Every structure is written in C-alpha cells, then in structure tokens.
Chains A and B, each alone.
Chain A
Amino acid sequence: MAQRLGTLSELRAALDDGRTSASDVVAQALGRARELAPAFAATRGLRADRAAEEALQADQRRTARALRSVLDGIPLLLKDNLNHRGEPTTCASRILDGYVSPYDATAVERVKAAGGVVIGRTNMDEFAMGSSTENACDQPTRNPWDPTRVPGGSSGGSAAAVAAGIVPVALGSDTGGSVRQPASFCGVVGIKPTYGRVSRYGLVAFASSLDQVGVFSRTAADAAALLQVISGHDPLDSTSLDEPVPDYAAALDGDVAGLTIGLPREYFVEQGVDPDVLERVRDAVKELERAGAKTCEVSLPHTPYAVATYYLIAMAEASSNLARYDGVRYGHRATGAHDLQSMYSRTRSEGFGAEVKRRILLGTYVLSAGYYDAYYRKAQQARTLLRGDFEAAYRSCDLILTPTAPEVAFALGERSADPLQMYLSDIFTVSANLAGIPGISVPCGFARDLPVGLQLLGPALGESLLLRVADAYQRRTDWHTKTPPEAS
C-alpha cells in the first residue's frame, strides 16, 4: 500500500531538501488513489500519464531553480465540477457523459500556472446537489473514518481524499456548506472564501449567487497556501471582487489574543444538535479563550429562516442553470427521439438523477408565473435580513464561531428517503453563502470516534483572520494529526 501523503508544508520541505521528487510524490498519490478507490470511491478519474509528465516538468524546474510557487510539484485533486482542459467534467451526472472540456476554469488555470499537479477528479453529489455524496450517478463516496458512513457533501470526494491521505490538498465548491460540512465529517480543514474572492469561471454552476470554489487540506497553513494561488480578480467573472489578495501565510502568527469571538445563541441550542458535537465545540471555545481570545454571545435572529431561504434561491437558480443540458451540444442525448420536444425531455429525464430533478422542479415552480413574488422575491428579501444579522453581529465581535454541522457523519442511506431531513444538515452553513461571507471548518475532536468540525465565520474578505484563528487553534491541538483507521 502506498503511504499516506504528508501535508503540503511537509512535502514542500521534503522536495526542497531533495529528500524526494515531484515524480515520486505524484506517483505515490496516484498509487494511493488507485488502492483506496474500491473502498472509498473518493476519486472519479485519474490522469496518471499526464500527471507524471507534469511532475517531471516540476522536477526540471526545481533543478533549474525556477520553481513557480510553494504548490510547484504538489499533487492535488479537483472536484469533478471544475473544467480542466482536455479532461472530462462530469459533475457526477450521466447528462455530461462523454463531455471533455475544451477550457480551464480560472482556479484550475491558476493552479497549473503555480506548478500544481492535478492527478484527477473527485466524486461529488450530482451537480453539487446533496450533503452526502450519495447522489453521484454511479457510486457513493464513503467516509475514511467509517466506510458505513457518508463523507458529507457535496464535495465528499475531495474531503475523503484529503482525509485518506491521497493528496495534501484538493479543490471543492461550496454553495450551502458543500466544503465545510464534508470537511467536518471527514476531520479535515475546509474553507469557503468570500463570494467573489475566487473566480467562478469554469466552475459548473449550481446556484450562481451562492457558489464559491473552496479548499480542503489538513492544516490551515496548507489551506492558506492553495487559497493564495486561486484567489484574486478575474475579468471573466463579473461577480469577481477586484480587491488585492493579502499574504495569507504571513497572517498566521499563532496569536488570537485580543480577538472577540461571537457565539450566536441560535446555533448553540440543544434541540436538533448532537450534544457530543456541542461539547467538542464548547471545548474548542475554551481552548481559544485560554489562548487569549475573548468571547461574547451574539444573535443572528433570522437563522430559523436560513434553510428555507437558501433552498428557494438555490433551486430557482439551479433550474435555470441546468437548462443548458439539452443534448444538443455536448453530453448525453437520448436515442431514437424523432422530434425535438421528446429529444429534450427524454435526454434530461435519462440524464439527471432524482435529487436533481426534484430541485429543477421546485426551482421551476417557484419562478413560474404567479409564484415569483411569493417565493423567489420573498427569499431574496429574507436574504437581505440574514445579511443584516451578520453586519450587526460583526459590530460586537471580530468573527463568529459555531458547530459546522449539527451532527457527525451519518450512515449511508439513512437520509436518502427524506430530502428535507438531508437539507437540514446544512442548517449551520447556508447562512454564510446567503451573506457571501467566508467560513472555515476545522477539526475540533471526535464524538463516538467520528470527527467533529468547528466553523469560523468572518466578515467579507476576512479570510486572513479565519486562517489565523484556525491555525492558532491547530497549533494548540492535535486533532488534525489523527489519521482515519480505515485508511492508514
């Protein structure tokens, strides 16, 4: 069995010392991905030959002392909803059967320009619609800490791959918690940046006003390194923020003294939250207090409306974003249809899975004549109120701390029959997407041997602050050094 890969910082040091080569590291990552595929199904496709070639080029750059960045020669995985030129992009959907992308997503282009070696794609819920990675068109991903349980979702493949030590870092996307919740379930770090911080160009849209590319890693320092590479303005994305990117690594000084951390009373409730999860998160609060941070209670009064608001907006946007999958230009096309209408309907019915259809239908319904104001417009107004909650809270604190999810990883199949119950696992993560603010999940212990995640939410463009606090916490704890027994 190929060995677990180290963290990005460890690999960087080993590469710089000449203890290993990019070719060896990439070969090790590919080997481990292949060996663990049957057990966890974290990856959807590997590009062994091209990755090996790119690793060789990285080694040549190292010899020539022409390294491009700290990422140069480091293997990583992409969630299968990021376009990578010459590679398939499936979104774990049959409807994208056979599609090979002719272009790079901006985040992917930046990773490549920095010398990162993409070894393949990770599994996900179809079109990022789900919280368990069970809605993939072929097989679900399993949690490396317990293969009978889900890794969370929708970026479950990326979270599992990092947890299983296949790669040190991976990219995912977060529309309502799809990076943070699986990071929490798999015991890794996951950061969703401010909306607009990372270009969405080339990220297959689920819900345009909520989607954001995010990063998985084992340490906050590694997350900072990869986020540094992919952040920044992109003229190809109109919603991209034209603001300078701070030096994230430089912000990691281990110091939290003097910071005020807000604890929203609506998130620290007994009802509907696993008591062990709450306890681990409260332990983490104490740890940060010992490190010199102050805490205070804050209120986000519109929290009870967040999930409904989120689903209305996300499904409405999704119903329109998914209209392009019509079998005309790429992907699956139903055979034997003699007229256009039936070609469309049959193609889409065959191509989309049950959850995607459910969301397209709800989204179509709430936008249709006569319902727009009652549903979509109302949700956009609720969104304004939710944003206002955060603005008010940040007047009395620097950042907000909550559990990432109300629970630990649940069993495969447990929620499949009850979509609404599944949606409620996003209860603590959706507000950040609605408000556009950054959030990070950091491992903060275990409940019944399953990882628990702590979520930090910052004000817009507060990534440095989140990474700094997460890093300070990791310097004082060793949760992130634990390895899953099933993938050791």
Chain B
Amino acid sequence: MARITREEVERIADLARLTLSAEEAQALTHDLDTMLEYVQALDGLDTQNVEPTAHPLPVATALRPDRARPSLAPEEAVGNAPEREGSAFTVPKVIEGVES
C-alpha cells in the first residue's frame, strides 16, 4: 500500500513552494514512498520515555549583550537583489494577507 499519494505530494510541494511537472510529481511520489517505507524501520524502536535530542551536546544558553553594532552598508545589503528600487527589494504584488 502506498504510504503517500500523489495528491499529498502536490499538497506538500505547494507548502514548500515548488511546482512539479506531471513526470516530476509521479517520480517524486515513488521516491518519497520508498523513503517513507525505509524510515518506517523506526516504528519498531521503543522510544517510550525517551527524551528527544534537539542538540547533540549540552551548551549553555548563548546570549548577546544588547548593543547595536554597525549594519551592512545598504549597497551591500541589497547589492545581490535580483530586482530593487533604491534600497528596497521589489517583488511582484503581494495579493492578500498579513502575518504576525
């Protein structure tokens, strides 16, 4: 049985902002299915009461003093922009929506 459907692959591609051609979608569905089958090996591992590891080594919280430091020169900050107006990046119109 397939672990992932083509529709799911397309939904995920949309979340990841990737457009897939029909062939790509088909091939990737197969690849992802194979990979998910492989990682299912973990199902057999008893992880009850096992703490997850996010960082391999214990490190004390790194903090930075609240001191403003020089930023990049604006020409450097936006020098790589594919498109810009003055020192602002420009993008095709943002249709709708706000986030916070």
Contact = CB atoms under 8 A, between A and B. Distances in A.
Interface of A: 98-100, 102-103, 194-196, 209, 235, 237-242, 302, 304-305, 307-309, 311-312, 319, 323, 326-333, 337-346, 348-349, 352, 354, 357-358, 360-362, 364-365, 368, 375, 377-385, 387, 419-420, 433-437, 460
A420 B35 contact: yes
Contacts of A419: 31, 34-35
B53 A239 contact: no
A195 B4 CA distance: 34
Contacts of B100: none
Given A237-B62, A349-B18, 20 more contacts: A100-B79, A102-B79, A195-B55, A240-B59, A308-B41, A312-B39, A326-B17, A331-B80, A333-B82, A338-B92, A338-B93, A340-B92, A345-B19, A348-B16, A361-B12, A362-B35, A368-B15, A381-B52, A420-B35, A433-B56
Contacts of B28: 357-358, 361
Given A348-B17, A377-B52, A308 B80 contact: no
Which 6 pairs between the two chains have the least Cβ-Cβ distance?
A: A436-B56, A380-B52, A330-B80, A333-B82, A381-B47, A238-B62
Contact of A330 (B13, B41, B50, B82): B82
B39 A102 contact: no
Contacts of B15: 364, 368
A344 B17 contact: yes
Contacts of A332: 82
B94 A361 contact: no
**Chain A residues touching B, majority SS:** helix
Nearest to A320: B16
A215 B51 CA distance: 33
Nearest to A345: B19
Given A333-B82, A344-B17, A385 B50 contact: yes
Given A333-B82, A357-B18, A378-B47, A365 B32 contact: yes
15 contacts: A100-B79, A102-B76, A238-B61, A302-B45, A307-B38, A329-B81, A329-B89, A333-B83, A357-B20, A362-B35, A364-B15, A381-B53, A383-B53, A419-B34, A460-B57
Nearest to A197: B57
Interface residues of B, number: 52
A380 B93 contact: no
| Interface core residue of B15, B55, B92 (most chain A CB under 10 Å) | B92
Nearest to B34: A420
| Interface core residue of B35, B41, B47, B59 (most chain A CB under 10 Å) | B35
B35 to A, nearest CB: 6
Contact of A358 (B31, B64, B92): B31
Contact of A436 (B18, B24, B57): B57
Given A362-B32, A365-B12, A382-B42, A435 B82 contact: no
B62 A343 contact: no
A343 B17 CA distance: 9
Given A357-B18, A357-B28, A381-B50, A364 B42 contact: no
Interface of B: 4, 8-9, 12-13, 15-20, 24, 28, 31-32, 34-36, 38-39, 41-42, 45, 47, 50-57, 59-62, 64, 72, 76-83, 89, 91-95
A209 B78 CA distance: 29
A126 B89 CA distance: 26
Contacts of A375: 39
Given A308-B39, A364-B12, A240 B62 contact: yes
Given A100-B80, A331-B80, A309 B18 contact: no
A102 B78 CA distance: 10
Given A209-B54, A361-B18, A378 B42 contact: yes
| Interface core residue of B16, B34, B52, B77 (most chain A CB under 10 Å) | B16
Contact of B55 (A209, A237, A327, A345): A209
Contacts of B56: 195, 209, 383, 387, 433-437
Contacts of A433: 56
Nearest to B16: A364
Contacts of A194: 57
| Interface core residue of A103, A361, A460 (most chain B CB under 10 Å) | A361
A333 B38 CA distance: 35
A312 to B, nearest CB: 6
A89 to B, nearest CB: 10
A349 B32 contact: no
